[in-house]
Amino acid sequence: MEFYIATIFVKPGFEDKVAAYHKSMQDEMSGVPGFIGREVYQADNGRLMEEVKKVYSEEEIRQNAEDPHPPATHFVMIEKWESADARMQFVKSVASEKKHEIIPYLLPDHTHEFYSQIAKS
């Protein structure tokens, strides 16, 4: 089994359009040869910091400050495929036409790669 994982940053105000795109792709992918399954996650912006502030003081937060994140919403997509070739055939035949629908809503920062699973619980 192959794991394909992509992360994207969506421009503010376009989260619903990107979420709708990913939901619509579920139907497209269900009958694709080699496709096993897919999960897509959307960040709950600001929620982690709310939780951090409940357990850390302002001083502790300042001492461990992170660089600012881009003004965007982070999405993570995890796909499972029988083979990398099956995923690439899907991209070439179906996804390449549809992905242009969401490109205007994305920031350039993104990642996409095949991954090896190293731990599971």
What is the DSSP secondary-structure string of the chain? Answer: -EEEEEEEEEPTT-HHHHHHHHHHHHHHHTTSTTEEEEEEEE--TTHHHHHHHHHS-HHHHHHTPPPPPPSSEEEEEEEEES-HHHHHHHIIIIIHHHGGGTGGGEEEEEEEEEE------
Predicted confidence (pLDDT) at residue 119 exceeds the cutoff of 70: yes
Predicted confidence (pLDDT) at residue 118 exceeds the cutoff of 70: yes
Identify the CATH number of the domain defined by range 2-115: 3.30.70.100
Residue-wise pLDDT for 83-101, tens only, equals 999 999 998 887 667 777 8
What is the predicted pLDDT for the residue at 26? 87
Tell me the mean pLDDT in the region 30-35. Answer: 92
Q: What is the pTM of this model?
A: 0.88
Predicted confidence (pLDDT) at residue 60 exceeds the cutoff of 80: yes
